Copies of this chain bind each other. A is one copy, B any other.
Amino acid sequence: MSFNTFGQMFRVTTWGESHGPALGATVDGCPPGVPLSEADIQPWMERRRPGQSRYTTQRQEADAVEILSGVYEGQTTGTPIQLLIRNTDQRSKDYSDIAASFRPGHADITYFQKYGLRDPRGGGRSSARETAARVAAGAVARAALAALVPGLRVRGYLVQVGPHGIDRAAFDDAQIDANPFFCPDAAAAAAWAAYLDGLRKSGDSVGAVIEVVATGVPTGLGAPIYGKLDGDLAAAMMSINAVKGVEIGAGMAAAALTGTENADEITMGAEGPEYASNHAGGVLGGISTGQPVVVRFAVKPTSSILRPRRTVTLAGTDAEIITKGRHDPCVGIRAVPVGEAMMACVLLDAALRHRGQVGDGPRGHIPVSTPGPAPTQE
């Protein structure tokens, strides 16, 4: 990762501002021969698109992706894929009021301090709008993974909104797309709706926790020491706007476990090693175990709120600020497809790097033996 590019072999560079004419992603290193068209990308854009419920910003964007290069006759060519998304509903006037002050908790002050420039139009490059380009790139990664690693599936959902978590016992995969929160627990979704309606009316916002799970991940992806799969995932998720924490498997709670509890015991199954638990989140020593890869990340509340906060102006005076405009009361909701996209990109990149260094598939094979008596080893 550097500047606006992530990935080593599957390299994604995003570009564009919230209120410029367009934004997009330059995707390099994609394998050739992958079937791809705009129709493969658009459904993923739809999941992230704003304005679809009262819980997200009311900005209306078609988020139509144009493929400008790298695809010929419905297949990737192996050369760079340019994905262009036109901005159509940028209302810069919305932001004219706040041009003179910085929003507490917002990046506008640090962009100014770093670059000496002030682009008040919707946060410019720091806007969550940038994540549209990630979703487009993630759709390309999904298409390539479908060809390279059939059976791999990436799935994200919300597990917490504000202080309200889901009930893991009520987890229902079918619920995820049945409510505006990507929530796998129907009761929690109903509670969140009421909670967010209240927040929205009060002009406030709130954070959330997203979980993204990849199943069907082959063993062997990721590489020591600074190419670890979990290191790449941490960087990828932390790079999403407003993310303040990333967890793999047991996450921060691993600190409270004993070695006895944390060890994911292994037994031989019909097709290879099986794990009794997944505290590891599918990654050991930075390399995938074949178990589901489980990542969680926390998104802070939107800093653009209708409640007055103390701040300073460009001129160096104290002020109070209220941010009008069209903002997400819980930007974490739309972070679900973004987290999925980052997972897909990271896994494809790891798969290509593994294939490059080691060749196709994992090299070390543990044979499935006829189970005999279990000797105690010391």
Task: Give complex CA distance A32, B189 in Å.
Answer: 44
Of chain B, the residue at the smallest CB distance from A161 is B255
Is A206 in the interface zone, CB < 8 Å from B?
Answer: yes
Q: Are B11 and A262 in contact (CB under 8 A)?
A: no
The chain B residue with its CB closest to the CB of A300 is B254
Q: Hey, what's the 0/1 contact readout for A33-60 against B, CB within 8 Å counting as 1?
A: 1000000000000000000000000000
Check if A156 is an interface residue, CB within 8 A of chain B: no
Contacts of A15 in B (CB 8 A): 26, 28, 68-70, 79-82
A249 at the interface (CB under 8 A from B): yes
Instruction: Please encode chain A, from 244 to 275, with 1 for each CB lying within 8 Å of some chain B CB and 0 for all others.
Output: 11111111111111111111111110000100
Task: Confirm or deny: A114 has a beta carbon within 8 angstroms of a beta carbon on chain B.
Answer: yes
Interface string of A359-378 (1 = CB under 8 A from B): 11011111111011011111
A117 touches B209 (CB 8 A): no
Shortest 10 CB-CB distances between A and B: which pairs?
Answer: A107-B285, A356-B356, A116-B363, A110-B287, A205-B259, A15-B80, A235-B235, A234-B238, A316-B369, A114-B220
Contact sample, A vs B, 29 pairs, CB 8 Å cutoff: A5-B13, A72-B119, A78-B357, A79-B125, A97-B377, A98-B377, A107-B284, A126-B224, A126-B285, A160-B256, A162-B257, A162-B258, A207-B255, A234-B246, A244-B247, A244-B248, A244-B254, A245-B248, A250-B300, A254-B299, A259-B307, A262-B300, A262-B303, A263-B309, A317-B374, A318-B372, A321-B377, A352-B356, A353-B356
Asked whether A245 and B246 contact (CB < 8 A) given A28-B4, A302-B259, the answer is yes
Known: A24-B82, A231-B235, A234-B246. 16 other contacts (CB 8 A): A1-B226, A2-B11, A5-B11, A15-B26, A15-B79, A15-B80, A113-B219, A114-B220, A234-B238, A241-B285, A245-B246, A262-B303, A266-B310, A266-B312, A268-B312, A310-B374
A225 touches B315 (CB 8 A): no
User: In this assembly, does A279 line the interface, its C-beta being within 8 Å of a C-beta of chain B?
Assistant: yes
Shortest Cβ distance from A157 into chain B, in angstroms? Answer: 14
Q: Which residues of chain A from 64 to 114 have a CB within 8 Å of any chain B CB?
A: 66, 68-70, 72, 75, 77-82, 97-98, 100-114
Contact A31 B318 (CB under 8 A): no
Q: Is A178 an interface residue (CB 8 A)?
A: no
Which B residues lie within 8 Å of A3 (CB)?
A: 11, 28-29, 80, 223-227
Residues B68 and A22 in contact, CB atoms below 8 Å apart: yes
* Residue A174 is within 8 A (CB to CB) of chain B in the complex: no
Contact of A216 with B by CB under 8 A: no
Is A23 at the interface (CB under 8 A from chain B)? yes
